[in-house]
Amino acid sequence: MPDVTFSTPLLHKNVTVYAVAGDTHTILAVAEANKIPIPHDCKDGECGSCLIEVMPLDDKTMGAMLTEKEKAQLKSMGKISNDEIRRAEVDDIPPKYRLACQYVVRDQDILVTFTGEPGGA
């Protein structure tokens, strides 16, 4: 089971939860289940309010699995370049920014940071 650690100024300290890999829970769903206040609105990859920064905490190589909506939204926000998308999809190098409502938990320990402002990872 992967550890997902949430870090935000809204919490007094970082919170680590154990997520179940292999199901379809998004980071946003895991956060909501654990009362972690990631801002969100559409839950469908279209508003950008759930922007998070994700840092892998282990050496596993995982494809980024960006959805088309996530790619389009992150590009419109200036949070991902075509080069970063290519590196994610071809070289398995994860991009820095993701959308919590689109990122499905994988078998990898990660640090998730967000400011608490909608779209302000």
The footprint of ligand FES (CB under 6 A) covers 40-43, 45-50, 73, 99, 101
Indicate the DSSP class of residue 4.
Answer: E
What is the nearest approach in angstroms of ligand FES to the Cβ of residue 27?
A: 10
Least distance CB 118 / ligand FES (angstroms): 9
Which amino acid belongs to residue 80?
Answer: I
Q: Hunting for tokens 């302000």 — which residue is that? A: 120
CB of 102 to ligand FES, least distance (A): 7
Pairing of strands 3-7, 15-18: antiparallel
Cα→Cα distances 118→23, 94, 102, Å: 26, 22, 15
- Pick 47 or 111: Cβ nearer ligand FES: 47
Of 62 and 77, CB closest to ligand FES:
77
